[in-house]
Structure 1
Amino acid sequence: MIGYVTLGSDDLARAGAFYDALLAELGAARAMESERLIVWATAAGAPMFGVFTPYDGQPASVGNGSMVALAAGSRERVDTLYAKALALGATDDGAPGERMQGFYGGYFRDLDGHKLNFFHLG
């Protein structure tokens, strides 16, 4: 159902380097880029993730209540990916753990302050 998700950034080079390193852990690579955007995907036709400079020319901002959840595949991968995000400069927004029965997630804020998590169901 999801085709792609985008987040705003005022520093595309910095955001690109962060997500290059982090999303490579999920097997994603740059699929599209221009002076305004970078988009990653794991395969042709798969959902994509991107960072953009805002089209309206205004500063990028963090959406209150917005979050991007990325499937990690296992609890161990949640732990590994969460640690990698923090090592790359992200900030903790909820250490990995079981939030409800069968849902394990680790929450962080990227370099622009956007909230994301890595999760595993089961």
Structure 2
Amino acid sequence: MFSHIMVGANDIQQSKTFYDAILGAMGYEPGVLDEKGRCFYFTKSGIFALSKPINGESACHGNGSTIGFSAESTEIADAWHAAGVANGGTTCEEPPAIREGAIGQLYLAYLRDPSGNKVCAVHRVS
């Protein structure tokens, strides 16, 4: 359904360090910088990217927005969360845990990246 997701970042290198760590915990390669200073993570299922806002204003997070990354296990979700906290992210919402929802049990781990974007590792338990 999606070709790519791009989030704004005020400090591309700081955000790259954060995303290299959390996505590396999931087995992805480090991001690649282009000639415009944007950072891209290329996968078989799509692209995740970081960019300073084109309008020159400060990047800010979307209130109510969350980007979820699929985790193959609870252990990978925990490693993702620990890597994020160790690399400039902050825990938000509840600590990583199983939550009941309309689509069954999900193991969720939430973070805010260095620019305030809310991201989540999601493992479908059932």
The question of a shared fold, defined as TM-score above 0.5 by the shorter chain, is answered with: yes
Corresponding residue number in structure 1 for 2:23: 23
Which residue identity lines up with residue 12 of structure 2 in the other structure?
Answer: L
RMSD value, Cα: 1.5
1:25-64 aligned within 5 A: 25-29=25-29, 30-31=31-32, 33-43=34-44, 46-64=45-63
Deviation at 1:57, TM superposition (A): 1.2
Counterpart in the other structure of 1:119: 122
**1:11-62 Cα deviation digits (max 9, x unpaired):** 112111221222122232335623241110234xx21111111011111111
Greater RCO (CA < 8 Å, at least 6 residues apart): 2
* TM-score (ref. length: structure 1): 0.88
* 1:85-96 alignment, distance < 5 Å: 85-93=84-92, 94-96=94-96
For the structure 1 residues 33 and 27, does the alpha-carbon distance in structure 2 shift closer, same or farther, using more than 3 Å as the test?
Answer: farther
Residue matched to 2:3: 3
Aligned equivalents of 2:90 and 2:38: distance in 1? 23
> How many residue pairs get matched?
120
Runs of 4+ with >4 A deviation: none
Relative to 1, partners in 2 of residues 1:83 and 1:74: Cα closer, same or farther, differing over 3 Å? same
Distance 1:17 1:42, change over 3 A: same
Task: Specify every segment of 5 or more residues in structure 1 that has no aligned partner in the other structure, as ranges.
Answer: none
Q: Is the 8 A contact 1:32 1:40 kept in 2?
A: no
